[in-house]
């Protein structure tokens, strides 16, 4: 298992059968988010829910959800990473990072990932001039999505604290933002 959805670049986007909204996550959304995330990342739904609760309390973090009517069908977050003096020289730079984009399997190929990413970029633009994203090189779907939104490659020689990417398997990307600050 790769941990991300199969990439099908030749499959066209399908129109959604329901009204899709993207908004900041609320406490009541977190268990549904955890149910989306846990199968991909492992761990219990309860532990993931508690971690998401902590994220809601951090001012330098943002969690967005995509909903079809009242059902949470997608999740994505933003975190702020600060380089510390103890970090290795190849650690990713200080800045805001898009993390954890996941869409329910039945809702893939409906533009949900793009909606969540644009919303997280909007949130970040209120705080910074750029945003970062890193991904496994084998995750063609997310790489194509982010490149279509203006992300360009920074390096493949990096580490990120707590991330399981093995050296040489990931890519760090960056997008400049038009700020509303």
The model's confidence at residue 98, banded by pLDDT at 50, 70 and 90, is very high
Query: Are 28 and 52 spatial neighbours (Cβ–Cβ below 8 Å)?
Result: no
Q: What is the pLDDT of residue 168?
A: 82
Q: What is the pLDDT of residue 152?
A: 97
Domain assignment present for residue 66? The answer is yes
Query: Are 20 and 112 spatial neighbours (Cβ–Cβ below 8 Å)?
Result: yes
Average pLDDT over residues 49-70: 93
Average pLDDT of the chain is 89
pLDDT over 60 (residue 15): no
Q: Two tokens at 147?
A: 């490149």
Q: What is the pLDDT of residue 68?
A: 94
Q: Give me the percent of the chain exceeding a pLDDT of 70.
A: 88
Beta bridge partners of 63: 77
Instruction: Return the residue matching tokens 């600060």.
Output: 82
Q: What is the CATH number of the domain that holds 109?
A: 3.40.630.30
Domain assignment present for residue 11? The answer is no
Query: Are 94 and 55 spatial neighbours (Cβ–Cβ below 8 Å)?
Result: no
Q: What is the pLDDT of residues 120-158, one digit of tens each?
A: 999 999 999 999 999 999 999 899 999 999 999 999 999
Domain assignment present for residue 45? The answer is yes
Distance of alpha carbon 73 from alpha carbon 66, whole angstroms: 6
Q: What is the pLDDT of residue 41?
A: 83
pTM of the shown model: 0.88
Q: What is the pLDDT of residue 55?
A: 87
Domain housing 135: 20-176
Query: Are 66 and 19 spatial neighbours (Cβ–Cβ below 8 Å)?
Result: no
Distance of alpha carbon 159 from alpha carbon 168, whole angstroms: 10
Q: How many domains does the chain have?
A: 1
Most confident of 13-27, 38-52, 68-82: 68-82
Domain assignment present for residue 13? The answer is no
Distance of alpha carbon 52 from alpha carbon 180, whole angstroms: 27
Q: What is the pLDDT of residue 45?
A: 94
């Amino acid at each position: 298992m790769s941990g991300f959805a199969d990439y099908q670049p030749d499959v066209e986007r399908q129109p959604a059968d329901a009204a899709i909204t993207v908004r900041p996550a609320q406490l009541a959304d977190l268990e549904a988010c955890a149910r989306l995330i846990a199968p991909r990342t492992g761990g219990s739904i309860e532990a993931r829910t508690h971690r998401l609760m902590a994220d809601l309390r951090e001012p330098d973090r943002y969690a967005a959800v995509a909903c079809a009517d009242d059902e949470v069908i997608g999740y994505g977050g933003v975190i702020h990473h600060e380089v510390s003096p103890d970090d290795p020289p190849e650690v990713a730079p200080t800045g805001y990072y898009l993390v954890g984009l996941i869409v329910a399997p039945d809702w893939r190929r409906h533009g949900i990932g793009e909606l969540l990413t644009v919303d997280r970029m909007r949130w970040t633009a209120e705080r910074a001039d750029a945003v970062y994203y890193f991904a496994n090189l084998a995750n063609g779907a997310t790489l194509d999505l982010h490149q279509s939104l203006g992300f360009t490659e920074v390096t493949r020689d990096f580490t990120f604290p707590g991330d399981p990417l093995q050296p040489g398997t990931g890519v760090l990307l960056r997008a400049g933002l038009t700020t509303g600050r």
